[in-house]
Structure 1
Amino acid sequence: MNLINKKVTHKRFGMGSIVKQNESSIEINFATENKKFIFPDVFGKHLQLHDKNVADSLEKIIQKKEVELREEEWRKREEKKLYQKNRELRLEHEKLMKNHKLHPESQMVFWCDTEEQISSFSEWKVFSGVIKSGNNKGNTVKPIRLYQNSAVLLTEIDSSGTEKNRRILGVYMVKEDFIGKLCKDGNIPAHSKYRLKLSEQESDQMLFWNYYVNEKSPHKMTWNTGKHRYFDNLRMAQILIDIVELKSDPKERELAQQFLKHFCKMNQISVQDIPKPDGALMHI
């Protein structure tokens, strides 16, 4: 909008004429001197245009600018809130990691149905489930034992439905910054690198009960209820060792070896000290 030579009246300096203008300021020639003002802020309270049509057009510009300023202020407030929230989460995360003590059973075994088998490997995550009863009924289950040292084992029962034939489908470390206590949506995502899927033939050779034993009923192979259960760190290491031995493809074998090395480092396990598998199937 060109305001050069437009007549104005200022509350203090009286009548004048606009002689210079840019995006952020205007200069007005009054009877005794020239004065500079911030544009368009000076209009409205301190300065009035004589030309009504131009004044109306300018008012629309000012209103639009005020709306933009309010939106910008709102955006900055929201950004500040988000920054503060993320900062608090980060500090809580750092505190939890600093004070974290390794739990001897901080691994998870998950029972995948047909649909979950597809989604688990396409999205590389599992859902911890929903609480079925009590005061927290309907809330998602928090996988409180899972930290950066944790792996998730994916299993299924074959078409015969015999528990002793439960097969291992794959395994992954949890995402690098995952902390179960902070997991609100129940989704347990995979590490960006350490994730292994077994072929059909490999799964047939990796039976879960070769490694797992229910301490309360060591001679029984029953899953009972629920989609998942926590699992011993050493038993998970046993599984990883056997997966390494099972892999014939050089690239897959190398990744499995790196997975095992990373897992043992995170769980403070020496590979030499890992005992041989001693699951329930070994005692039949």
Structure 2
Amino acid sequence: MNLINKKVTHKRFGIGSIVKHNDSSIEIHFGSENKRFVFPDVFGKHLKIHDKSDAKLLEEIIQKKEIERKEEEWKKEEEKILQRKKLVLRLEHEKLMQNHKLHPASQMVFWCDTEEQDSSFSEWKVFSGILKSGNNKGKPNKPSRLHQNSAVLLTAKDSSMLEKDRRILGVYMVNENFVGKLCEDGYIPAHSKYRIQLTEQESDQLLFWHYYINEKFPEKMTWNTGKYRYFENLWMAQILLDIVSLKSDTNERELAQQFFKHFCKMNQITAQELPKPNGALTRI
């Protein structure tokens, strides 16, 4: 927009002519002196341009600048809110966890066989298995990495299925008082509130390998031995968030949202910064 030599009227300095302007400033000649102003802010309250078509274009520019200014203010306020949330999460986590050092991969995915697909939900607990070697051979396997911030993901696949088709059946936070290092019997009980069982239709939409990846062999989707694996806190948060979107029942959706919020608090995860799933299935 070329405004050079355009006539304007300033409330204080009177009639003048524009001699210079760019995206941020404008210079106007008033009789015996030149004055510089912020562009386009000076127009509207203090300065008016005589040409009506130019006035209309300037009004559009001012409106656009105002929208950009408000968006910038909104972004800054959002950043402040985000930082406050992070601080609250950290303080709450310190209070809840006290002497426990947060591990970035303190979640468990459990392989349910046919019987366990029923018992896991009727009893709301899983068994970590028996040690097959070492000094403690024959004793229950201690899930030492699990703590109050941990959740257990229940998965299964039919014998006719490929491993890549492993489905998520449900999920629960560990019991409020559970400490894996102190677990002597190998049983991992569920939290009194945060526990979710998926319907068959929901499970078909939630495949484990959409979230999980073996960093050493990212192209492989194999699970040959062992009843469970530890995996990343962020991956569990991604799964919980997707469960929220799957739930159509109001009460179930509310519980899933509360579960997700509680999990994020316990693991110092900010929901707004949660990355998209990037498991092995997304890389095919």
Question: With structure 2 as the length reference, what TM-score do the two structures score?
Answer: 0.65
Question: 2 CA distance for matches of 1:132 and 1:155?
Answer: 23
Q: Please state how far the C-alpha of 1:97 moved relative to its aligned partner.
A: 5.0
SS of residue matched to 2:129: coil
Specify the code of the residue in structure 1 equivalent to 2:229.
R
Equivalent positions of 1:113-124 (< 5 A) are: 113-124=113-124
> 5 Å matches for 1:56-75?
none
Cα deviation, residue 134, structure 1 = 2.0
Distance in 1 (CA, whole Å) between partners of 2:97 and 2:268 is: 15
CA displacement at 1:140 relative to structure 2: 0.7
2:114 and 2:100 map into 1 onto residues whose CA distance is 35
Residue of structure 1 in register with 2:3 after alignment: none
Task: Please list the CA deviations of residues 258-278 of structure 1 after superposition, one character each: whole Å capped at 9, or x if unmatched.
Answer: 000000000010001110000
Segments ≥4 residues shifted beyond 4 Å: none
After superposition, give the CA deviation of every residue in 1:237-269 in whole Å (9 maximum; x if it has no partner).
000000000001111000000000000000010
The residue number in structure 1 matching 2:173 is 173
The equivalent of 1:240 in structure 2 is 240
The amino acid of 2:178's aligned partner reads: F
> 1:130–1:137: 8 Å Cα contact kept in structure 2?
yes
> Is 1:196 paired with 2:196?
yes
- Residue of structure 2 in register with 1:137 after alignment: 137
The Cα RMSD (Å) is: 1.1
Question: Structure 1-normalised TM-score?
Answer: 0.65
| Conserved? CA contact 1:158–1:167, under 8 Å | no
The equivalent residue for 1:152 is 152
C-alpha separation in 1, matches of 2:119 and 2:158:
18
Match of 1:186 in 2: 186
Which amino acid in 2 is paired with 1:210? H
Q: Report the equivalent of 1:81.
A: none
The aligned residue for residue 208 of structure 2 is 208
Question: Runs of 5+ in structure 2 lacking a partner?
Answer: 1-95
Superposed CA deviations along residues 8-41 of structure 1, whole A, max 9, x for unmatched, are xxxxxxxxxxxxxxxxxxxxxxxxxxxxxxxxxx
Alignment of 1:1-284 (within 5 A): 98-284=98-284
State the distance in 2 between where 1:175 and 1:158 align.
29
The number of aligned residues is 189
Larger-Rg structure: 1
**For residues 156 and 171 of structure 2, what CA distance do their matches in structure 1 show?**
12
Please give the alpha-carbon distance, in whole angstroms, between the structure 2 residues aligned to 1:109 and 1:119. Answer: 16
The corresponding residue for 1:34 is: none
Can you give the 5+ residue segments of structure 1 that lack an aligned partner in the other structure? 1-95
What are the superposed Cα offsets for residues 48-95 of structure 1, whole Å, 9 maximum, x if unpaired? Answer: xxxxxxxxxxxxxxxxxxxxxxxxxxxxxxxxxxxxxxxxxxxxxxxx
